[in-house]
C-alpha cells in the first residue's frame, strides 16, 4: 500500500470538514423551507454547495457556527446562487463573489 503524506491527509480532512459544514447548513435551510427547496434544480444546489464551501473557507469557524442558516429565505438563496453563477460565467471575480456571499450569510447571525 502506498504511503500517504501527512499533507495529503490534512487536505482531505479539511475537504471533508468543509463538505460536512455545508451539508449541515443546507439541511437546516431545507428543513425550514421544504416546499420552496423543491424549486431549486440540482445544478442550483451544486453551485450553492460550491459557493458556501468557499465561504466556509473564508469565515472563522466560530462565525460560521453562529450563522442561522434556518433563517435564510428562498430570496436569499436565489441571490447567493445568482452570485455563484456570475463566477461560473466569468462575470464576477471569485473573491468578490465569496465576499458578497459571506456578507449575505453573516447578516443571518
58: in domain: yes
- CA-CA-CA-CA torsion sign (31, 35, 38, 39): negative
Q: Using the predicted structure, report yes or no on whether residue 4 has a pLDDT greater than 80.
A: no
Decide if pLDDT at 49 tops 60: yes
Domain assignment present for residue 25? The answer is yes
Of 44, 45, 54, 46, nearest to 21 by C-alpha is 54
Average pLDDT over residues 85-101: 97
The pLDDT value recorded for residue 1 is: 52
pTM for the model stands at 0.91
Domain count, the chain: 1
Cell reading at 105? 450569510
- Can you tell me the distance from the alpha carbon of 91 to that of 30, in angstroms, rounded to the nearest whole number? 28
Whether 32 is covered by a domain: the verdict is yes
Q: Is residue 1 part of a domain?
A: no
pLDDT over 90 percentage in the chain: 89
Residues 58-81: tens digit of each pLDDT: 999 999 999 999 999 999 999 999
Its domain, for residue 32, covers: 6-106
Amino acid at each position: 500500500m502506498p504511503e500517504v503524506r501527512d499533507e495529503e491527509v490534512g487536505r482531505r480532512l479539511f475537504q471533508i470538514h468543509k463538505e460536512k459544514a455545508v451539508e449541515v447548513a443546507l439541511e437546516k435551510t431545507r428543513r425550514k423551507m421544504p416546499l420552496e427547496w423543491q424549486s431549486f434544480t440540482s445544478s442550483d444546489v451544486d453551485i450553492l454547495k460550491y459557493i458556501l464551501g468557499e465561504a466556509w473557507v473564508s469565515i472563522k469557524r466560530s462565525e460560521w457556527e453562529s450563522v442561522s442558516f434556518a433563517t435564510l429565505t428562498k430570496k436569499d438563496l436565489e441571490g447567493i446562487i445568482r452570485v455563484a453563477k456570475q463566477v461560473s460565467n466569468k462575470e464576477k471575480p471569485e473573491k468578490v463573489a465569496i465576499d458578497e456571499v459571506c456578507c449575505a450569510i453573516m447578516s443571518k447571525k
